[in-house]
Structure 1
Amino acid sequence: MILRMLPLAVTALLLTILTIAPAAASSADTAAEDSHPQRLVAVEDTRRLNLFCLGQGSPTVLLESGSGGSTADWWRIQDRLGQITRTCAYDRAGYGYSDPARRPSDAAAAVDDLHRLIVAAHLGPRPILVGHSNGGIYATLFAERYPGELAGLVLVDPGFPGQQDYARYGLPPGRIAALRHWRAGLIDGARVCLSAVKRDGPGLTTDHPDCLATPPEDPAILRAALRDLYSRVPYEAANLSEFENSFGVDPAGATPDDKEFPRPLHTLGDLPLIVLTADHHPVPVPGFTALETARYWTVWKQGHDRLARLSTAGESRVVTGSGHFIQNDKPEAVLAAVGAIVSTVRGHRSGP
């Protein structure tokens, strides 16, 4: 149980919060709210980002989704986080109910928009940022580029510098080629979906069902809303751009890692930081042996350990029994990590 990894005082406080705080919303309520726009915040002239907040208290927790994600990525857990403190999810430009992107959907744009949103929405001084997957890269870069503007950081099975340097994985050439082929396939698939949406619009359902795929366990109201969003040009355009900027290789062979991380990341000082690693983060292509899969996971864990070491207060945790979407598979691990950092921040504020 992940709570055993916390100091006893922190664990007791977190359990008290989760047990006695009244629920402002249920997970089903959150899913229904994710099926339509919430607060549209202007971040650049008239361009707006969709923001959805639950709960009360300080510091604010802000949820950053992975590639192609939206506020809907957090519907199973946001109401529970909202019982700890005010918790907000948002849609990056072009996704969900945010206005279309006006620039490439790369890390620089994501970090800049996030900073604009925090200021424009008055989310309070120094929020806690929670980043999942590729959103973990954005969250890490935000902490580096805006030092002193976050109270804490939780990275949920995050991306990291060097994750696309497959030569370091200790794999045979054929496996490395398979990973690179998978990466290129993501871009090709997104390109097909964008072309299909431009041509067919709502008629996409029949001809390209893969472009509209949604998790079968999501409530029907949310799945219908997501399918509608996936059939729109702004979403598919942002998705293609994000894939190109996250997984693409330029003619010279440079990956986005080379562009986004031309130098080692700066230290984050003593920023409260917890990195969560799924214990069975799957290799994205079939055919890997157990040993090759273990090597793949080991590189991920090493990358997460390096992220944790960016802060003198950093901690790296493995979440047993979880896949890549830890917030779905083991939500208690995310709740515990966020609760621990909230307690730390509040303790610092009330101290001498």
Structure 2
Amino acid sequence: MSVATEDRPFHIAAPATSKTAQPTARDKGSRGLRILLRAAAVSVGAIPVVAALGATYEAISGSQDLSFYPPAGRHVDVGGYRIHLDCRGEGSPTVVMDAGLGGSSLDWNLVRAELTTTTQVCTYDRAGMGWSDESPLPRTPGHIADELHILLLNAGIPGPFVLVGHSLAGKNIRMFAATHPDDVAGMVLVDARSELVDSLTPKAEADAFSTALGMQGGLYGVARHLGVARMFGASLASAPLLSPAEAEEMVLLQTQASAIDETTSEGLARAADDAALANTSLGSRPLVVIAAAASMAEIPNWPAAQHKMAALSTRGRLVVAEHSGHAVQLEDPAIVSKAIDDVVALVRADD
């Protein structure tokens, strides 16, 4: 309506029926420029309206999230705050999965489905992520490992466990093994970050990563507040093997305020326990290290780090996911399921 009203004077100023006042090329250019400028002004003026509509949509829809997206598992108190734990299937050893930076228990949906027919599989949300409460403790791998240990203990889940960690969570489960070795029977590291990569990362690059984390948090917050994350969630997830509903739920969990804060805090503290990790060993526990081919080709020192982690156990081996990017559990879940099955079989054979 406003655009049409704004256009009308231009048509009146140069009637098409006049044979003596035909517009020149310069007149046409000026007229076109004025139309574009006025249209742009109207568009800019509409931004607050669109933003208000988006924020209203998000506020109304967000108030119903717990009804539409209830937690699949249960909440367990770990010392004044609760962690969401979802255990399915039966059998031992229990497989416990920890998602990468910014991820939730939903990250393992495609992998878990293949495993619960043969053993118990537990996924969980780190504090602040998914359906878990925020934690007052620093978000270092060591503190996260201790929270996981308390969670499993308070939930009554018996060990020893086969631990599975993606990306930065690889450090979490390695710290778990370092501090609670008797509770670890085997391990699968999925394109996991290593202290070796951290030690060889130039300071300027590390600083740029920290800056990018803050910027990402700000963008996620705006996208969530304006309803963009909700409206386009499925297309933003970059997880084509998930259903649209699962992809949308994943994005909504990742862009909630507590998850943004947790992701930033974990990312900034990612190297806090590197000195301790450098001296760890898994002895003879079964270990499979899965490396994404894309990471091996694109990230400096990633191949050396993956080989070094495979050598953490005398029964460790490296498997390359040839057709996958970093999120192997979402892009090639079969290779992750197979690795976990192999480790579970070896643990059972040891018993």
Over residues 24-79 of structure 1, what are the superposed CA-to-partner deviations in whole Å (9 max), with x where a residue is unaligned?
A: xxxxxxxxx99431333324234111112222111111111000110111111211
Cα gap change, 1:49 to 1:163, in 2 (>3 Å): same
Q: 1:68 aligns with which of 102, 119, 122?
A: 102
Q: How far apart, in 1, do the equivalents of 2:287 and 2:311 lie?
A: 9
Q: For the Cα contact (< 8 Å) 1:190–1:239, is it kept in 2?
A: no
Q: For the Cα contact (< 8 Å) 1:64–1:132, is it kept in 2?
A: yes
1:342 aligns with 344
Cα gap change, 1:123 to 1:180, in 2 (>3 Å): same
1:322 aligns with 324
1:157 aligns with 191
Equivalences for residues 1-352 of structure 1 within 5 A: 35-166=69-200, 179-180=205-206, 182-193=208-219, 196=222, 202-205=225-228, 213-215=236-238, 217=240, 218-246=242-270, 256=271, 259-261=273-275, 264-281=278-295, 293=298, 296=299, 299-349=301-351
Alpha-carbon offset, residue 107 of structure 1: 1.0
Alpha-carbon offset, residue 238 of structure 1: 0.8
- What's the RMSD between the two structures over aligned residues? 3.0
Q: How far apart, in 2, do the equivalents of 1:316 and 1:109 lie?
A: 28
How does the TM-score come out when normalised to structure 2? Answer: 0.72
Write the letter of the residue equivalent to 1:62: V
SS of match in other structure, 1:129: strand
Alpha-carbon offset, residue 152 of structure 1: 0.5
SS of match in other structure, 2:260: helix
Cα gap change, 1:224 to 1:327, in 2 (>3 Å): closer
Q: For the Cα contact (< 8 Å) 1:186–1:243, is it kept in 2?
A: no
Cα gap change, 1:320 to 1:94, in 2 (>3 Å): same
Alpha-carbon offset, residue 213 of structure 1: 3.8
Cα gap change, 1:329 to 1:223, in 2 (>3 Å): closer
List gaps (5 residues or longer) in structure 1: 1-32, 168-175, 247-255, 284-292
Larger Rg: 2
Alpha-carbon offset, residue 132 of structure 1: 0.6
Over residues 130-152 of structure 1, what are the superposed CA-to-partner deviations in whole Å (9 max), with x where a residue is unaligned?
A: 11111111111111121121111
Q: How far apart, in 2, do the equivalents of 1:158 and 1:231 lie?
A: 23
Q: For the Cα contact (< 8 Å) 1:126–1:148, is it kept in 2?
A: yes
Cα gap change, 1:196 to 1:313, in 2 (>3 Å): same
Write the letter of the residue equivalent to 2:335: A
Alpha-carbon offset, residue 113 of structure 1: 0.8
Q: How far apart, in 2, do the equivalents of 1:40 and 1:207 lie?
A: 25
Q: How far apart, in 1, do the equivalents of 2:255 and 2:277 lie?
A: 38
Q: How far apart, in 2, do the equivalents of 1:37 and 1:149 lie?
A: 27
Cα gap change, 1:300 to 1:48, in 2 (>3 Å): same
Q: How many residues align?
A: 283
Q: How far apart, in 2, do the equivalents of 1:261 and 1:204 lie?
A: 42
Q: How far apart, in 2, do the equivalents of 1:206 and 1:60 lie?
A: 34
Q: For the Cα contact (< 8 Å) 2:76–2:84, is it kept in 1?
A: no
Over residues 133-189 of structure 1, what are the superposed CA-to-partner deviations in whole Å (9 max), with x where a residue is unaligned?
A: 11111111111121121111010111111212346xxxxxxxx68844651343222
How does the TM-score come out when normalised to structure 1? Answer: 0.72
Alpha-carbon offset, residue 331 of structure 1: 2.0
Q: How far apart, in 2, do the equivalents of 1:282 and 1:205 lie?
A: 33
Write the letter of the residue equivalent to 1:65: A
Q: For the Cα contact (< 8 Å) 2:101–2:167, is it kept in 1?
A: yes
Cα gap change, 1:164 to 1:222, in 2 (>3 Å): same
Q: For the Cα contact (< 8 Å) 2:296–2:302, is it kept in 1?
A: no
Q: For the Cα contact (< 8 Å) 1:34–1:222, is it kept in 2?
A: no
Task: State which drifts further: 230-239 or 59-68.
Answer: 230-239
Q: Which is helix-richer, 1 or 2?
A: 2
Alpha-carbon offset, residue 322 of structure 1: 1.9
Task: State which drifts further: 86-95 or 309-318.
Answer: 309-318
SS of match in other structure, 1:281: helix
Q: For the Cα contact (< 8 Å) 2:229–2:255, is it kept in 1?
A: no
Task: State which drifts further: 188-197 or 56-65.
Answer: 188-197
1:25 aligns with none
Q: How far apart, in 1, do the equivalents of 2:92 and 2:197 lie?
A: 34
SS of match in other structure, 2:269: helix
Alpha-carbon offset, residue 263 of structure 1: 6.8
Identity %: 27
